[in-house]
Amino acid sequence: MAVIVPQPLLNITDLQARVDGHVVLRDLNLTVNRGEVHAIMGPNGSGKSTLAGVLAGDSAYEVVKGRVVYHTAGKALDLLELDVDARARAGVFLAFQYPTEIAGLSNAVFLRSAYNAVCSEQGRTPLDALDFDDLLQEKARQLQMDKGFIYRPLNAGFSGGEKKRNEVLQMAVLAPQLAILDEVDSGLDIDAVQIVAKTIDSLRTEHNAMVLITHYHRILNFITPQHVHVLQQGRIVASGGSDLARRIENEGYENKLSH
């Protein structure tokens, strides 16, 4: 029987980060292999978005120590050394908890710019407006998004749920190797959670990986993670399989510290 050797995509070692002088991530260690989905759960304020922001390169967060190695195209990159846009072009994607609204910038124009920026880096052919439109419409259909959305100004006037769908639409179009999804399920009703979750699940391949940050268990009914971690006060206090998420659902976060 062939032994499947895990291929690391992301190694986080001893990561410590501050915001406004407060330490919000402490000695965080996490390894994500290709083909894996990791769920990170934790109460409000535990540092989930901070972790996402540090990985994406948000300058609001100051990395005090630690290393983040990102493996791509046969190279091990020091992720923290890369500019925000370079990380994205190397295949890192963050679905924002609170996506930015930009009036006047059409979703489609924006996404084609992003798509072509990512493609040119990865040696794929850029698409002209018409071909890109086909791709975009197909992805929007899968997410059951109204066609009109993709031509509307980026997130401007979108409801909370529409913004989340739009984040997933971007993920579907950009096909990242590492997707960090920050509470992509919040603000969605149960039907929408299912549609969004199924789309995300359909994007899983053996080459990519996802870090699914969530507050609630319900999205995990549609996406089964290999690993679940509990983040509390900036530390991973428990890790386990998908059953851990179920236990949290039943027992809350309180008990997890003592495990």
Partner 1 sequence: MKTSSVTDHARFVARALARTQDEPLWLQEFRRQARQRWQAMSPPTLRSEAYRYTNIKPLLAERLGVVTGKSTLPPTAYAPLLDAAEHCCVFADGRYVRTQGAALPQGVQCVRVQQAISSGALCAQQLQASEDYLQLLNDICFDDGIYVQVAAGVKLAQPLHLIFVNTAQAAGNAMFSRNIIDVGRGAELQVIESHYGLTADSYLSVARTVINVGEGGDCALVKFQHEGGGAYHFSAVEGQQQQDSRLSLLNISYGGRLARLDSSIEQLAKGAHCDFRTLYLGKEQQVLDNCAEIKHLAVEGTTQQRVRGIVRDRARGIFAGNIRVPRQAQRTNAEQLTKNLLFGKECAVYIRPQLQIEADDVQCSHGATSSRMAAADLYYLATRGIDHRHAAQLLCRAHVEELAQDLPIASAQRFFDMVLAHFLR
103 near partner 1, judged by CB under 8 A = yes
Considering only 38, 48, 163, 164, the residue that binds ligand ADP (CB under 6 A) is 48
- 55 and 77 Cβ atoms separated by less than 8 Å: no
With a CB cutoff of 8 Å and minimum separation 6, the contacts of 106 are: 151, 152, 153, 154
Measured from the CB atom, is 56 or 68 closer to partner 1? 56
114 binds ligand ADP (CB under 6 A): no
Question: Of 6-14, 17-25, 47-55, 222-230, which segment contacts Mg ion by CB under 5 A?
Answer: 47-55
Consecutive H or E run containing 191: helix 190-202
Q: Are strands 178-182 and 92-95 parallel, antiparallel or unpaired?
A: parallel
Q: Does 225 bind partner 1 (CB under 8 A)?
A: no
DSSP type of residue 253: S
Closest CB to Mg ion among 96 and 158? 96
Q: For residue 24, what are its two tokens? A: 């919000």
Side chain identity, residue 107? N
Shortest separation between residue 47's beta carbon and Mg ion, angstroms? 9
Does residue 89 bind partner 1 (CB under 8 A)? yes
Tell which one of 33, 50, 107, 208 touches ligand ADP (CB under 6 A): 50
Single out the residue of 60, 64, 73, 102 in contact with ligand ADP (rule: CB under 6 A): 60
For residue 57, count other CB atoms closer than 10 A to its CB.
Answer: 20
Considering all CA atoms of the chain, what is the largest pairwise distance in Å, rounded to the nearest integer? Answer: 57
**44 near ligand ADP, rule: CB under 6 A:** yes
Which residues form the interface with ligand ADP (CB under 6 A)?
A: 19-20, 24, 42, 44-50, 60
